[in-house]
Amino acid sequence: MIRLNKYIAECGICSRREADRLIERGLVGVNGRLASVGMSIDETKDEVTVNGDVIKAKDHVTVIAYYKPVGVTCSEHDEHADRLILDELDLPERVTYAGRLDRDSEGLIILTNDGDLINSMMRGSKRHEKEYEVNVNKPVTDEFIKKMESGVYLRDLGVKTRPCKLIAKGEKRFNLVLTQGLNRQIRRMCDELGYKVTSLKRIRVMNITLGSLRTGEYRYLNDTEIENLRKAAGGR
């Protein structure tokens, strides 16, 4: 027997947390009946459906590095979005993304059919590094750098960001290394300090970099890269 949310994750549909949300919304069935959060199944006998489609455990691990363009929304279903990430890729197999970028940002997104890898990558307590190239609307000062690196209190979220590393790259340009992923975090941090982000690109997720990928392109990670990513994420 296996927990239903774990089985859904292992099929590459989404993370376990997202699987529980799908179950709560009545979108998951087991043998023709609505599933319940916390239930277990026999993966050798029970038939599981998500949104009416039968799902099966993966027979191989796929991990993809994708250069998300500006204007693409990281969502599987959004009636207000003009372009959805999985529609842009049009892959022959089912994958989902580990971590989002907002519609106005671009850069590296990791997609995979390995639910356990997604869970490992999404654990905020692990403090996995993500690096961004940021351009702002006015000159970066020493005071700005100091405040960004020491953590910024985000009034609308009621939290202070973790300390981070900022590397100045030009008058209005810098790289920022974060170990957390609050919603629109960099934009919110800059807003609090009186700056506006004019462009934002993620160039690294842990040990995987954007490299030579051009906007809209993707590549499959090799076995060594996948294994190193799994180790960096703290998974099995």
Estimate the crossing angle of helix 16-24 against helix 115-122, to 10 degrees: 100
Determine the Cα–Cα distance for residues 157 and 148; give it in Å rounded to an integer.
16
**What are the residue numbers of the active site?**
102
Type of residue found at 48? V
Determine the Cα–Cα distance for residues 196 and 204; give it in Å rounded to an integer.
22
Q: Which of 89, 94, 97 is nearest to 59 (CA)?
A: 94
Q: Which two tokens stand for residue 170?
A: 């030009």
Residue 176: its H or E element: strand 173-178
Q: Which residues pair with 232 in a beta bridge?
A: none
Determine the Cα–Cα distance for residues 61 and 59; give it in Å rounded to an integer.
7
Determine the Cα–Cα distance for residues 230 and 224; give it in Å rounded to an integer.
10
Q: State the sign of the Cα–Cα–Cα–Cα dihedral 96, 62, 125, 181.
A: negative
User: β-pairing, 106-112 with 63-68?
Assistant: antiparallel
